[in-house]
Amino acid sequence: MSTAPVVLIIGCGIAGPVVAILLKRKGYQPIVFEKVSKLADAGASLMLMSNGLKVLNLIGVADDFTTESTPITTLWDAKATGEILGQSNLPSTFTSKYGQPAAGIRRTSANLKLKQLLLDSDIEVREGWQLTDISESDSSVKASFKNGQSVTGSFLIGCDGIKATSRSILLKNQGQTESAADYTGLTQTAGISPTPASLLPVPAMRNWYSDSIHAISYPISPTHTSWAITQRESQEKEETWRPCHPDEMLEQRAYLSKLLAGWDDAVLELVNSSERIIKFGLFDRQELGPEQWYSRRCVLVGDAAHPTSPHLGQGANQALEDAYHLSQLLPAVSTDGAPNEDAISLLVKDLAEVVFKSFAEMRQPRTSALVRGARVQGESRVASGDEACQKRDAAIESSFRDDSIIAAKFDNFLSHPF
């Protein structure tokens, strides 16, 4: 029987499977618990950037993802009508500079590929196991699930996303109540469509800006493009990531076609040919302090630790950076099959002080800055009123005049985590 320390990993999204694979390589026995009874089709897409893909490359799936996608070569920003504000071929340099490109991928594909990799790596995945409670002692942790079962392990990693139960429990156990998520006043309608012929020749991340409405698109395969429309709306919709039913799709297409009348034909074509549409509200939360990311035997990772709005496209990439750094900080518990007694003793005595604290203190400032940056980016994208829109458009034009400004912005993301 294995004596490897059991690690309870909550959530089989992006961070959960990756941290599980990295820890298995260090001699741990991870078990991944996922609330969904069978992971299947969900969400729209993710933009994986070089920083996230570097981590995925460590577990051998980056090529698989980039081959399925069409990595972007260009950034292209325009007014709603298609009048260009600026463009740059900076992304075509990412692979030579950072070792990996930037590539959009279907969210479903990312989820299912990572789950398959867990199974191929002999890591147990328990679907339909929804975490409901955690109790800790000095040397172990017990997770309880909605199905009435409980499992004990050496420590627990909460990778359960933006609405993490692990985060609420940790905060409650620290005597704090989690504040409710704030509606940002913005909704996003996202879709996946065949790529319009006019967009096919240049695989680009494209932005269109108007008064109170912003559109973005990028390829997720040689034939398909993912897009999203952000707008100011008072109506709150939860971030359920549920695809619209066919009748809702027709309604959404008609609504968006009217809303976007006069826009670039490519945007209207994307909307009208969409194969799936998802609409959700964008919610925000106050950032947690590093000391709120962990307890004696639990630590939060990814969106569970730093939920973010999507405007910088860094949610999944930061979750991957977290997975890398946490796995680096955790000691290898066996070397060539022989137990590493020092590492095992550290796990029992100093896990929180030595590993979790260092992890949280290293990651919290960077992720908090990105959460705040995403908030600012979201607000500026949907600037309202003539004056604010002119100011925004002038700032975009000016940023494209000097590639070094855009390069510096991307370098802050992509030069990490190694």
Q: Which residues bind ligand FAD (CB under 6 A)?
A: 10-16, 33-36, 42-46, 107, 130-131, 159-161, 165, 190, 241, 302-304, 310, 315-316, 319
CA 244 to each of CA 90, 106, 217, 249, 257: distance values in angstroms, whole numbers, following the listed order? 35, 16, 19, 6, 16
One-character DSSP codes across 358-395: HHHHHHHHHHHHHHHHHHHHHHHHT--SHHHHHHHHHH
CB of 31 to ligand FAD, least distance (A): 12
| Closest listed residue to residue 299, CA positions, set 290, 286, 308 | 290
Taking the C-alpha atoms of residue 95 and residue 302, their distance in angstroms, rounded to an integer, is 25
Which C-beta is closer to ligand FAD: that of 45 or that of 88? 45
CB of 232 to ligand FAD, least distance (A): 19
Helices (H) and strands (E) in the chain, counts: 13, 19
Which C-beta is closer to ligand FAD: that of 45 or that of 109? 45
CB of 1 to ligand FAD, least distance (A): 26
Which C-beta is closer to ligand FAD: that of 85 or that of 190? 190
Taking the C-alpha atoms of residue 152 and residue 236, their distance in angstroms, rounded to an integer, is 39
CB of 264 to ligand FAD, least distance (A): 22
Which C-beta is closer to ligand FAD: that of 11 or that of 27? 11
Which C-beta is closer to ligand FAD: that of 38 or that of 258? 38
Give exposure, 365-399, as e/b (b: 16+ Cβ within 10 Å).
Answer: ebbbebbebbbebbbbbbbeeeeebeebbeebeeb
Which C-beta is closer to ligand FAD: that of 347 or that of 367? 367
* Residue 83: Cβ-neighbour burial (10 angstroms; 0-12, 13-18, 19+): exposed
CB of 150 to ligand FAD, least distance (A): 13
- Coil vs helix vs strand at 337: coil
Which C-beta is closer to ligand FAD: that of 239 or that of 379? 239
Query: How many other CB atoms are found less than 10 A from the CB of residue 176?
Result: 12
CB of 112 to ligand FAD, least distance (A): 11
Taking the C-alpha atoms of residue 54 and residue 61, their distance in angstroms, rounded to an integer, is 10
CB of 323 to ligand FAD, least distance (A): 8
Query: How many other CB atoms are found less than 10 A from the CB of residue 276?
Result: 17
Which C-beta is closer to ligand FAD: that of 77 or that of 322? 322
The total number of residues shown for the chain amounts to: 418
Taking the C-alpha atoms of residue 194 and residue 223, their distance in angstroms, rounded to an integer, is 6
Taking the C-alpha atoms of residue 25 and residue 7, their distance in angstroms, rounded to an integer, is 13
Q: How many CA atoms lie within 13 A of 263 on its CB side?
A: 25
Taking the C-alpha atoms of residue 282 and residue 237, their distance in angstroms, rounded to an integer, is 8
Taking the C-alpha atoms of residue 150 and residue 132, their distance in angstroms, rounded to an integer, is 10
CB of 314 to ligand FAD, least distance (A): 8
Which single residue brings its beta carbon nearest to ligand FAD? 13
Which C-beta is closer to ligand FAD: that of 141 or that of 347? 141
CB of 188 to ligand FAD, least distance (A): 9
Instruction: Please report where in the chains the tokens 């390069």 appear, as a residue.
Output: 407
Which C-beta is closer to ligand FAD: that of 75 or that of 316? 316
CB of 155 to ligand FAD, least distance (A): 16
